[in-house]
Amino acid sequence: MEVDKSTEPSNETQEIAPDGDVILVVGPDKIKLRVHALFLKIASKVFNAMLGPHFREGQGTSSAFPKEILMPDDDAETMAFICNIIHHRNDAIPRVLSPQKVIKVAIYADKFDSVVALRHSMSWWLNLKGVYDPADISRLMAAAYMFDNSKVFEETTRALVLDYTGSYLSLADDDCVGIIPWTAFYVLEARRSRVRMDLQEIILNGKKHRKGACNCDWASKNNNAYMEALQGSNLWPPSVFNTAVSHVLENLGRLQDPTPLKPDPKCFSIVYAHTELKGKVERDSEANGIKEKAGLCLGCVRSGNADAPFPCRVKH
């Protein structure tokens, strides 16, 4: 950034602060944003240093003769969002922002060290409603990480674990990895694998009827009927690991228990040999528990170990 000495014509100034003492000239199109230096300094440690007495940009500023500061490499729209927020221009702040623009604001908040000043307004924009593209969900996840929003971080990571089937590294674009560590994407993969393993255990445990001194082969016949039901519901083991977790949960929710065969009245088995272990109600309850816990805890991810005991802000 530098003081503008050019005499080239530029676009009309956006009067974010009509009596501001600084004009930010942003981007290649030289969009002008008139703002208060004091507001910038309070909101941003970077601007606080740059507009201080030790730098040229901070000397001789006044509302009568506002000083122009060039920011040719920055995005004018994003800077306008940030300036409107820190100047309390709620009338100029959109209530909804696309994930692509949200991640830009997060990147600039990091660049100008203004996360704290923007955190409250970001809660409007960190909204998963109507967002289905995995890349966009990943952008909201990264922004939630930057702004320390544990609720949205848990929601976005849960959506990625449940609905995404590809490699999470393909979602780690330059925007995301600039504000969230690579390890978060590896932790996502580990969580999805764990969820699939847990679901596999629930599914396969449904066939375990107690076996005892039974001479009518009751348990084996009922187990076989259950395994056939799994195949018909696309819940056979290979399918679980090649299908979105949310689809596995849907299939599991539709799975009905086969009608138990009646034991041979002549069977000399003791009573517990003809007792079922797990039914639909129990399976559904365990599956819902897995679904609720599919998301990642922001505190755990920040600690470097998503499975470590950590003073977390969301219930494990």
Distance CA 89, CA 92 (A): 6
Distance CA 219, CA 276 (A): 9
pTM: 0.82
Facing residues of 2 across strands? 70
Q: Per residue of the chain (316 residues), give pLDDT as tens.
A: 444 444 344 467 899 999 999 999 999 999 999 999 999 999 999 999 888 876 666 566 777 889 899 999 999 999 999 999 999 999 999 999 999 999 999 999 999 999 999 999 898 899 999 999 999 999 999 999 999 999 999 999 999 999 999 999 999 888 888 889 888 999 999 999 999 999 988 888 765 555 555 666 666 777 777 778 887 788 877 788 888 999 999 988 888 877 666 666 666 665 555 666 567 788 889 899 999 989 999 988 988 765 544 445 555 5
Antiparallel, parallel or unpaired: β 22-26 and 67-71: parallel
Q: Which domains does the chain have, with CATH numbers?
A: 2-92 (3.30.710), 196-292 (no CATH)
Distance CA 133, CA 8 (A): 42
Q: Which is nearest to 158 in space by CA: 7, 295, 15?
A: 295
Instruction: Mention every residue, 6+ apart, whose C-beta is less than 8 A from residue 252.
Output: 199, 202, 203, 233, 235, 283, 284, 287
Distance CA 273, CA 226 (A): 17
In the chain, the largest separation of any two C-alpha atoms, in whole Å, equals 104
Cα end-to-end distance, the chain, whole Å: 46
| Cβ atoms within 10 Å of 239's Cβ, excluding its own | 15
